[in-house]
Structure 1
Amino acid sequence: MLIDQKAFHIKELDYIIRCAQLEDAQALSDLRLQLDGETENFDREQGEAFIDQAGFEQLIQQDTASPKNLCLVAVVGDQIVGYSRCEGSPLKRLAHKVTFGVGVRKAFWGHGIGKALLQVSIDWADANGVRKMALEVLETNEKAIQLYEKWGFTVEGILKNDKCLADGKYYHTIIMGRWQP
């Protein structure tokens, strides 16, 4: 699905949030690989489950065509520095909800980019009859958990000892959801 782009100016940084376009595919592939190496907040280690340019082109085409999907990018100047994705299901019993995920380059943390991507996604979901947004977040990602709670997400469950990180310890994954009656 497509939305109008939105401009933001936060902490001396100008950026826009817009729908991903086919010409963004290579930059998204590169960004995803970089993000996986910058933080352990994702399920993947760097290079795992790699999506190449063609793979992102296919995702962007699917998301653009589907009324239940939304793929956004955050752009500073001419550089994509973050992205988010809402993915719905074609199954009737799950048609009321989407799963949300987000990633922002570490060099751009603290400028509200993740918050802006979330805000635009929630606005889209509310305007398009999405009743529930669901997400998973690592228990150590306290800033993200606080942000999600501010936007109406609540803890719905905990997957105990769900991920083993580089330190060899196991961490819980928190399942959160936001219900729009």
Structure 2
Amino acid sequence: MGAIERPTFASDASKRIYEYVERNGTVKRHKLLDAVALSADEFGTHLERLKNDGYLEERGGTLQIALEFGAVAKYETDELAFVIRPGRQDDFDGLVDAVRDVTAEETYVVAETIAEELLYEDAVTRHNSVRSRMFFVATVDGDLVGWTHLELPQTEHLQGTAQQTVGVREAYRGHGIGSRLLQRGLEWAEANGFRKVYNSVPITNDHALEFLTEHGWDTEAIRRDHYEIDGECIDEVMMAREL
């Protein structure tokens, strides 16, 4: 199933099964059976249909939503080798830590909000009739060191635009990881029919504004006194990239 494909269901039972998994990130098969209040035969029939239709996938008795985000890509510089791949549920703790690490150093309010959403929802990927959320992550020797996030509205009039954030732990900057993450997100958005990606950054975050400008993003608008940071009103710079 593609992340821009709005989920539809042949029955209420299938919808209940999918929505329970989507809300919880991953669910053990036996716990899902208890939660959806279906007979074992009904449960098995509807679950197999959801798996065959590409809505859910099962690994070792654990279910999660199945979305097509692309392949794993490996990169190597003179000093560092890293991997960029689609984020998954078992990246949860690493993602939260990476976002908090970046936002502790520089004010990045949108990314802070993402970390809080992750903790509140306890799910990395979301895909329902209202919104979708996906991540690509960068890893070094298996450790998550950076991310790019795409927020994908399912509302008809907003489906052409996506919100993107990107961040890399300070110790791993200077190796092109942020640029690769940003480009991976942009390429995915363009390939899936989006016409614009946007990002909102406090005007005091010089590093983020410089990074986005160098990669072809334009200032679309400035919202005056949009944030209150350390008791001071701060403007928000709304950056955008046409695809």
TM-score (structure 1 length as normaliser): 0.81
Q: Structure 1 residues 69 and 43, CA, compared in 2 at 3 Å: closer, same or farther? A: closer
**1:129 paired residue number:** 193
**1:3 paired residue number:** 70
Contact 1:85 1:101 in 2 (8 A): yes
Q: Which has the higher helix share?
A: 2
Q: Which whole-Å CA distance do the structure 1 matches of 2:176 and 2:84 have between them? A: 11
Q: Structure 1 residues 147 and 73, CA, compared in 2 at 3 Å: closer, same or farther? A: same
Provide structure 2 residue ranges, at least 5 long, that are not aligned to the other structure.
1-67
Superposed, 1:25-174 pairs within 5 Å as 25-43=92-110, 49=116, 51-52=118-119, 55-56=121-122, 58-60=123-125, 62=126, 69-166=133-230, 168-174=231-237
Q: Which whole-Å CA distance do the structure 1 matches of 2:82 and 2:166 have between them? A: 16
Query: Match for 2:87: what amino acid?
Result: A
Q: How many residues were matched structurally?
A: 174
RMSD, aligned α-carbons? 2.8
Q: SS at 1:49's partner residue?
A: helix
156-165 vs 127-136, which deviates more?
A: 156-165
Contact 1:158 1:173 in 2 (8 A): yes
Q: 1:10 deviation in Å?
A: 3.7
Provide structure 1 residue ranges, at least 5 long, that are not aligned to the other structure.
none
TM-score (structure 2 length as normaliser): 0.62
Q: Which whole-Å CA distance do the structure 1 matches of 2:214 and 2:151 have between them? A: 22
Percent identity, please: 27
Q: Structure 1 residues 72 and 37, CA, compared in 2 at 3 Å: closer, same or farther? A: same
Larger Rg: 2
Query: Match for 2:121: what amino acid?
Result: G
Which digits, 9 at most, give the CA deviation of each residue in 1:105-143, with x for residues without a partner? 122222222211101111111211111101112223333
Q: SS at 2:220's partner residue?
A: strand
Q: Say which structure, 1 or 2, has more relative contact order (CA 8 Å, 6+ apart).
A: 1
Q: Which whole-Å CA distance do the structure 2 matches of 1:23 and 1:85 have between them? A: 16
Q: Structure 1 residues 70 and 50, CA, compared in 2 at 3 Å: closer, same or farther? A: closer
Q: Which whole-Å CA distance do the structure 1 matches of 2:215 and 2:105 have between them? A: 25
